[in-house]
A and B are shown apart, each in its own frame.
Chain A
C-alpha cells in the first residue's frame, strides 16, 4: 500500500536557519502528497499539498516539490522562526482515502 518515510527528529535550528525535512513515498500511481503541522497540544493543520508530479506546494514560506523521479516531497523553508517549532507530518492517501502519515519530525527553533 501507499506509505511515506520521513526523517526522524528532533531537529534543532537557530532562528533564520534553512530547514529541510526529507520525505519519500511509495505509492501506486501518483496520489496527492501533503504536509501537515501540529503545534504543541493542538490538532493537525494542513500546511501545503501537491496534487501531481512537478507541482510545488507552498504556504507560510514553506515549500515542497512533488518529484516522481526521486519519489520525494521534501519540506523546505529558507528562514525558520521560533513560531515554526512544531511537529511536521508528511502524508498521502491510501486506497480508502484515509491518510497514511509519516512518523513525524519534531522541529525546535531557538532564538
Chain B
C-alpha cells in the first residue's frame, strides 16, 4: 500500500515551453502533497506545500508564477513549470502525506520526474 506515482518519469522539452508533472496517491487520500527539487549530487529542497482545495505555500526563493501548483483532489497534485529554461532542468520529486497522518507520520515519495530543458 501507500504508493505514489508521478507522470511523466522523463521529459525533454524546448526552452520556452511549459511542462506539467502529475503526482498521484494511488491507494490513499492525501490532504497535503509536497514538491521537492533535486539538483545532481545534491539534497532535496522543498519547493512548495500543496493543500487540497487551497493555494499552495511556496518556499522562499521559489517563483509561484513559474511553478504553478494545483491540488484539485485528495489524490492528485500537479506542478506546471511555465516557460521552462535550461536552469529549470532538475529532478522533481513529490511526496504525499496521508489524510489521517499526524505530525511526523511517514510521507510517501513518488519516483521522481527528470526534466531536461534544451
Contacts and interface: CB of A to CB of B under 8 A. Distances in A.
> Does A associate with B in a complex?
yes
A98 to B, nearest CB: 5
A56 B14 CA distance: 48
A42 B111 contact: yes
Interface residues of B, number: 24
Nearest to A44: B109
B24 interface: no
Interface residues of A, number: 24
A36 B44 CA distance: 11
Interface stretch (B69-77, B82-90, B99-107): B99-107
Contact of B104 (A89, A93, A102, A104): A93
Contacts of B109: 36, 43-46
A4 B77 CA distance: 28
Interface string A73-111: 000000000000000010001101111111110100000
A49 B111 contact: no
A104 B39 CA distance: 12
Interface of A: 31-32, 34, 36, 42-46, 49, 51, 89, 93-94, 96-104, 106
Interface of B: 6, 32, 34, 41-44, 46, 49, 57, 93, 95, 97, 101, 103-112
19 contacts: A31-B103, A31-B104, A43-B93, A43-B109, A44-B44, A44-B93, A44-B109, A46-B106, A93-B103, A93-B104, A96-B57, A97-B104, A98-B34, A98-B46, A99-B44, A101-B43, A102-B43, A103-B43, A106-B41
